Amino acid sequence: MKVLVLNCGSSSAKYLVYDWDKKEITAKGIVERVTIGDSFCMHEVPGREAAKIEHDCPTHTEAVHLILDLLVSPEHGVLKSVKEIDAVGHRVVHGGEKFAKSVKIDTEVLNTFKELQNLAPLHNPPNILGIEAAQSLMPDVPHVAVMDTAWHQTMLSPQYMYAVPYAWYEKYRIRRYGFHGTSLLYVAKRAAVLLGKDPFDVNLVSLHIGNGVSANAVKKGLSFDTSMGFTPLEGLVMGTRAGDHDPALDFFVMERENISPKEMGNTILNKKSGLLGITGQYTDRRDVLEAMEKGDARAKLAFEVECYRITKYIGAYAAAVGGIDALVWTAGVGEMAADHRAKAMEGLEFMGIKFDPEKNKLARTRNMESDISTPDSKVKIFVIPTDEELIIVEDTVAILNGTYDVHTNFKYSFQDPAYQNLQRDAELAKQLEKKPAMAKAQAKVPGQ
């Protein structure tokens, strides 16, 4: 079975083809600048050089069409025909309260996503456009939606309700939803494997840190609380999002600068704040660190603000679940930024969180699960490369086979202690040849 995974953003379309029988990725890539001109695709096939293909994509329909053309092209392709694709799995950011697990897309499901557009105006519209484009080009294959919010549907009302007029919840379903759930589900299940424990007998604080950032409190293997809220704006400091702050300051500035609610919400708080807001020019943590080393005071401030907020959430969430078995770092920054991890964990020894500085510096790879805790640390500290695409593939395959259920009743392949990601293992072997010391940080599965 071959599954196409699609993740359509406002101006991009990420994709991946997964051969379920061989358990391998056969192609992946991203179409950039969709809808805004000068579109191009970065296309990757294992064992070949990455290719950049320029092609105008005024809508997501053209982007999906370009992806399919590349997958079957004589020069770049991996398929003889589009008919080799057995199913399409779509990432959908917001599933509201209706969906606690992935679903096969039909007219009713798609209409529900459209009804939820006001809850995620920056995310659901392009997700829907991608679904409709793929359905129009591949009408005879099943399409499946995997929602970022589904993992967090185990939260209870004291965790997801806001202290605002209750009528807002009744009329508009205003509550905490949480995001990055697909990634957080993956690392929670893998953390249980690395701990050698039942997945529903672990307490965790998981930190998904990329351009967007989520903290997740996991209690007895279930999402108990999370930092992102009604929208992905709430919570930790992010690349361009403000995160937690006093909402009164927004109104204060709006009045004095004559800024509209739409400009404040969609543009300033989501796209011009966070690290960019503090530094005035940087969103990439590598740029922030480089500027710090050159004496940039605002870059140093941004680094310290971000790390301090992470420290606060670690402490708050560990208290909320009554103590944790492991602290988990994941996503681009969480997996690669040793300086951020070190600063955020500074002074947490009183909580039993003690990291090994050498192992922390060595744990900078997306091909290896790392254990960076000291031998006497009461809390394990893992760096787990996430794999959202594998979740989408497995949910899609299971739905088609009639074996799928909510994660409390469903077991993923990567929950097996003997699970191997062969492609990551191959890449890791190459990395270890160049830097054998990395093996010191490699996490071990108990009993393996």
> Which of the 8 DSSP states describes residue 414?
G
Residue among 228, 244, 209 nearest 149 (CA):
228
Joined tokens for residue 29: 């890539």
Joined tokens for residue 98: 């209706």
Give exposure, 362-381, as e/b (b: 16+ Cβ within 10 Å). bbbbbbbbbbbbeeebebbb
Give DSSP secondary structure letters for 229-284.
-SSTTSSS--SS---S--HHHHHHHHHHHT--HHIIIIIIHHHS-HHHHHHSS--S
Calpha distance 357→289 (Å, rounded): 18
Directed axis angle between helix 124-137 and helix 107-115, to 10°? 160
Residue 86 appears among annotated catalytic residues = no
**Cβ partners under 8 Å of residue 35, min gap 6:** 10, 11, 57, 58, 59, 60
Residue among 277, 216, 217, 218 nearest 243 (CA):
277
Residue tagged active-site, from 38, 148, 198, 284: 148
Calpha distance 244→269 (Å, rounded): 11
Rg, Å, the chain Cα set: 22
**Cβ partners under 8 Å of residue 286, min gap 6:** none
SS3 87: strand
Asked if residues 13 and 59 have their Cβ atoms less than 8 Å apart, the reply is no
Asked if residues 179 and 167 have their Cβ atoms less than 8 Å apart, the reply is no
Give exposure, 227-242, as e/b (b: 16+ Cβ within 10 Å). bbbbbbbbbbbbbbbb
Active-site residue list: 148
